[in-house]
Structure 1
Amino acid sequence: MHMYIGCSCILVLLSAGGFSKSIDCPESCKCSLKQSKNHEAVCTGRDLHYIPLFPENIHDVIMNGTNLSYIGENGFDNLTKITLKKLYLNDNLILYIHPHSFTKLVYLGKIYISDEKRLNVDILKTGLRFSTKEKLTDLIFDYNSWSYLPLDMFSNLTRNHVAKLRIKSNTFPEVKCNTFSPLTNLFDTSLSENLIERLDMTGIPGAIRKLHLDNNLLPTVPDWCVQAKRNTSAVQYLVYLDLSYNSIGYIKDDSLGCLPKLEMLVLNGNPIGRIYNNIFTNNPILYTVRISKIGYPLRKIDDFAFNSSSLSNLNMQETNFHFDLGNFNPTSIFSLSPNLTFLYH
């Protein structure tokens, strides 16, 4: 008799609180099926003013075109009920994010904030606090119409493991790379389409391997050397550099100095009218150069412009360069490029 009553009590307790209730996909959202390889929920609609609860199989949440104008300290609480790894916030009319709203998202690895034009960058920077910084690897900020980039933008991200940063399509004319100094593990950085005219490399994280500076307004190639030590590189591990579609009119023989590990250089779409001698001699392992659509047109190639023992791929399509007008020396132009294998013209 006593054993029967004891079992009944246990069953009552379990049924009352031991089993979690299954959560259905919210009405304004579309969720991946449990058996799907994707674990994604996409929520849309201006009638949605909060972040709802999601089924437990959801790991990636996309809030797109909703009305999350105010995200308070508990605004992301429903996301703590799932193992959230990626959060996308796109065009949600956000005006405010509480400084501690992200700290509860302990599994978050990637965050995308785009087209949030009403969210002031100074308000956002105070909210960039994460309790599990070792999991956060990607920060993406696109099309947010920032007119400046605060020097202390990432000051709350000490001891982090952010490897990828993208800040794209804004309108700030100047960038001081000290801004990124807290991101000591930064590997891939993109600052494309921001109308940048001035770039101060001081303080840039030394671990950077890839740097995208395309589609800006840079008039010259940035200085890659440490100011106090002219022969020391500020980006000694950089292997990929994209400077395409800027306003760079010329490259001197020292413009690409202090880039000892550079393997690929992209200069497409710049108004470079002449390629001078020996501009690649400071890059001992450079194997790919892309200079398509430069010069408008390209008018002159010096005798030893392609002096590079490592160069193997050269793309100079759509430069409108006329090899029949005496603008180059056919006996010397590639005489110091012994490993050139692919030439696209």
Structure 2
Amino acid sequence: MLEGTAAHLWMCWRAFYLLAAGVALACEARLPCPPSCRCNAAVLEVNCSGGQLTSVPNGVPQDAKLVNLTHNTIKTLVNHQFYNLSQLFHLDLSDNLLAFIEVEAFLGLRSLLTLRLARNQLKILSVGVFAGLKDLRLLDISSNKILVLLDFTFKDLASLELFTADDNDFVFISRQAFAGLTGLKRLALDVQNLTAVPTDALAELSVLRSLHLHQLGLTTLPDYSFHHLDLLKELVISRFPQMESLSGNSLFGLNLTSLTITHSNLSAVPYTPLRPLVYLVYLDLSFNPISYIQGSLLGDLLRLQEFHLVGGSLLRIESAAFKGLVHLKVLNVSRNLLTTLEEGSVQSVDVLEVLGLDGNPLACDCRLLWLVRRRPYVDFYGCPPTCSTSVQLQGWNFLDFAADDLSNLLTCRRPRVLNRKPEDVRADQGHTVVFDCSAEGDPQPSVSWLNPQLRHISPVGRIRALTNGSLEVRYAQPLDSGTYICVASNAAGNDSLPVSLHIRALPSKTHFQTWLVSPSAPPGGSGNHNLPFDLKTLLIAATIGFFSFFSSVSLCFILMFFWSKGKGQIKHTATIAYVPRSAVSNSNTGATSFKETGRFTMKLI
């Protein structure tokens, strides 16, 4: 952004120099002028705008510094079209019917600084079209119908600093399309028909400071989309209507000072991608359906000075939302759905200089008392906030309040928990218990719950605080027993109500055990042990065992049946044989005798 401003100032100084030189020469010669054009000898300008020209006119003076050919019907630029205009600084061909530019059409314009080709009918730029433009600083090809950017299309534009290519029909950007743009500092690119961020092509732009991307149809900005752009300071992402989130590392490697993400579909502030941007000074998330700014999640943006979220869906800015942002000077949350902005949301209210809060349905009560007292020191962009929801103060703006009446007009009523009858609930283990808690006050108090350890109960988990203010304990366990506290809070104070919960444990369940007799039991023991199984258990076990055995036997018979059918008829033969054997025995007298024995052997064939 700073480099772009410097370039514009440089061109302004050069134009001023030309003007001074032209005035000095005005009396010496009169600038010759082509038909249908108007010439100014003082600044060496040839103005042919709106001259109904169908081609570049002949007779343009060779010493011309500015040539304006806008609002004509020129369709083609031929080779060496401006070859004799070596001293030309600025050429504007916007708002024509240009459909084709021949290669080397601008050859010879070696002093050209700015070239504007916006709002024409160009569909392609051939490689070599910009040959010879070694000093070109600004190129504008926006609002054409260009489909592709080919490799090395801009390789001759080493001095180019500002390049605008918005509102085109790009379907493809080659990886080396920007090769040669070694001095480019600012790029504006329309990527409506692309399916991804052209990360590889952007990697060629090593000194890029400012990048504007418009109309990309992504639902999520991918990781490492810009990780080669080490010197990038300003990133503008606009009109990404489908983009709902940013991946955690989508901004990895950037050292931005300015980030704008507008007219997209973000439903939450992208806290994780923002965390590494410790040098960020300006952040704009306007025109996104963001509902909440959570507390204590932006503290890493230590240098942030401006935060903008205009035209969103903000319902609430939580306490400590801007905690740690000690340099925050500008906060603009106009045209949202906020009913208040509490003092605790801002880290240092004394630093705040500009606040946009108009267009919100504000309830003027004690929560805004701090802001009314600081109205002499805060700029409201010329639109002071207006009370909308308070009947007594409806239509009043912050400048209408008298200092003496503030304590009587901007009031709050302390909350009170309704139905204060103490609850003592007893339930069996495994049941679900719900405690109701409601409160009244002005403004409407928020209801939270504390567990027996006095810790806040979250909206998720087995024990959770519901959005209607109730407490739900699911599948209650004995360890959940204790005293829970309902706390109702608003800006005027708080009120509480304790409730007790007692969970009865279920009887211990009977487990199957194996009955074993210890081998070390004394032999004289009675052996009368109670079996751990009752009759019903034994019947069930026997039935299961019988069916398992019966199923196994049946399966074996079925398999044998089919096997035998496959083998055909089989003859079975049985042979029984008697085999005699001798045995040796010892008598008491020490003599040895032999005894005849026998054995039957049967073979089944």
Same fold (TM over 0.5): yes
Indicate the residue corresponding to 1:76 in structure 2.
82
Contact 1:175–1:200, Cα closer than 8 Å, also in 2: yes
Q: Cα RMSD between the aligned structures?
A: 2.7
Deviations 1:272-319 (A, max 9, x none): 101254432211210110111111xx2233333322211111011221
Question: Alpha carbons of 1:318 and 1:66: their partners in 2 closer, same or farther (altered >3 Å)?
Answer: closer
Could you tell me which residue of structure 1 aligns to residue 219 of structure 2? Answer: 219
CA distance in 2, matches of 1:79, 1:44: 21
Would the alpha carbon gap of residues 267 and 141 (structure 1) be closer, same or farther in structure 2, given more than 3 Å must change?
Answer: same
Q: Is the 8 A contact 1:23 1:53 kept in 2?
A: no
Taking structure 2 as the reference length, the TM-score comes to: 0.46
- Which residue number in structure 2 is paired with residue 320 of structure 1? 313
Question: Which residue number in structure 2 is paired with residue 50 of structure 1?
Answer: 56
- Structure 2 residue matching 1:191: 3-state secondary structure: strand
> Among 27, 32, 42, which residue is 1:35 paired with?
42
| Cα distance in 2 for residues equivalent to 1:97 and 1:252 | 41
d(CA) in 1 for partners of 2:180, 2:147: 22
Report if aligned partners of 1:44, 1:65 keep a CA contact under 8 Å in 2: yes
2:303 is aligned to: 310
Give the TM-score of the pair, scaled to structure 1: 0.77
- SS of 1:139's partner is strand
Residue 48 of structure 1: how far off its partner (Å): 4.1
Which residue identity is paired with 1:249?
E
Distance 2:91 2:189 in 1: 21
How far residue 61 of structure 1 moved from its aligned partner, in angstroms, is 1.0
CA deviations 1:182-223 (Å, max 9, x no partner) are 101110111147444421312331100000113443433354
Q: Choose the corresponding residue for 2:130, options 128, 144, 150.
A: 128
The alpha-carbon distance between structure 1 residues 179 and 269, as it changes in their structure 2 partners (threshold 3 A), is: same
Aligned length: 302
Residue 303 of structure 2 corresponds to residue 299 of structure 1: no
Deviation at 1:180, TM superposition (A): 1.0
Match for residue 64 of structure 1 among 66, 70, 76: 70
The equivalent of 2:159 in structure 1 is: 161
Partners of 2:92 and 2:141 in 1: CA distance: 10
Deviates more, 1:52-61 or 1:266-275: 52-61
- Tell me if the contact between 1:193 and 1:215 (Cα under 8 Å) persists in the aligned partners: yes
Q: How does 1:83-122 map to 2 (within 5 A)?
A: 83-117=87-121, 119-122=122-125
Relative to structure 1, the CA distance from residue 110 to residue 249 in structure 2 (aligned partners, 3 Å threshold; closer, same or farther) is: same
How many angstroms apart in 1 are the aligned matches of 2:72 and 2:84? Answer: 16
Matched-pair identity in %? 19
Q: What's the CA shift for 1:121?
A: 1.0
Question: Is the 8 Å Cα contact of residues 33 and 46 (structure 2) preserved in structure 1?
Answer: no
* SS across alignment from 1:182: coil
Aligned-residue offset at 1:173: 3.9
Considering fraction of residues, name the structure with more helix.
2
Q: What does residue 241 of structure 1 align with? A: 235
Larger relative contact order (CA 8 Å, sep ≥ 6):
1
The residue that corresponds to 1:3 in the other structure is none
Q: SS in structure 2 opposite 1:279? A: helix
The code of the aligned residue for 1:335 comes to K
Aligned partners of 2:207, 2:234: CA distance in 1, in Å?
A: 13
Does residue 343 (structure 1) correspond to residue 331 (structure 2)? The answer is: yes
Aligned in 2, Cα 1:30/1:188: closer, same or farther, shift over 3 Å? same
What's the offset of the Cα at 1:169? Answer: 0.7
Identify which range, 282-291 or 332-341, moves more after superposition: 332-341
Decide which of 249, 255, 261 is 2:250's aligned counterpart.
Answer: 255
Please state how far the C-alpha of 1:259 moved relative to its aligned partner.
0.7
- 1:198 paired residue number: 196
- Secondary structure, in 3 states, of the residue corresponding to 1:306? coil
Give the 3 Å change call, closer, same or farther, for CA 306–253 of structure 1 in structure 2.
farther
Larger radius of gyration: 2
How many angstroms does 1:126 deviate by? Answer: 3.1
1-side partners of 2:197 and 2:234: how far apart? 17
Are the structure 2 counterparts of residues 225 and 190 from structure 1 closer, same or farther at C-alpha, using a change threshold of 3 Å? closer
Q: Is contact 2:37–2:46 with CA below 8 Å preserved after alignment?
A: no
The answer to whether the Cα contact below 8 Å between 1:43 and 1:62 also exists between their aligned partners in 2 is: yes
How many angstroms does 1:94 deviate by? 3.2
Q: Give the secondary structure class of the aligned counterpart of 1:213.
A: strand
Letter in 2 for 1:121: I
- What is the CA-CA distance between 1:146 and the residue it aligns to? 1.3
Q: 1:168 to 1:246 in 2, by over 3 A?
A: same
Residue 397 (structure 2) aligns with: none
Aligned mates of 2:212, 2:66 — CA distance in 1 = 26
Gaps spanning 5+ residues in structure 2: where? Answer: 1-27, 334-605
Decide whether aligned partners of structure 1 residues 21 and 78 sit closer, same or farther in structure 2, where only a CA change above 3 A counts. farther
Q: CA deviation at 1:174?
A: 4.4
The alignment partner of 2:211 has SS state of strand
Which residue identity is paired with 1:61? V
Distance 1:93 1:225, change over 3 A: closer
1:25 maps to 2:33: yes
Partner of 1:186: 184
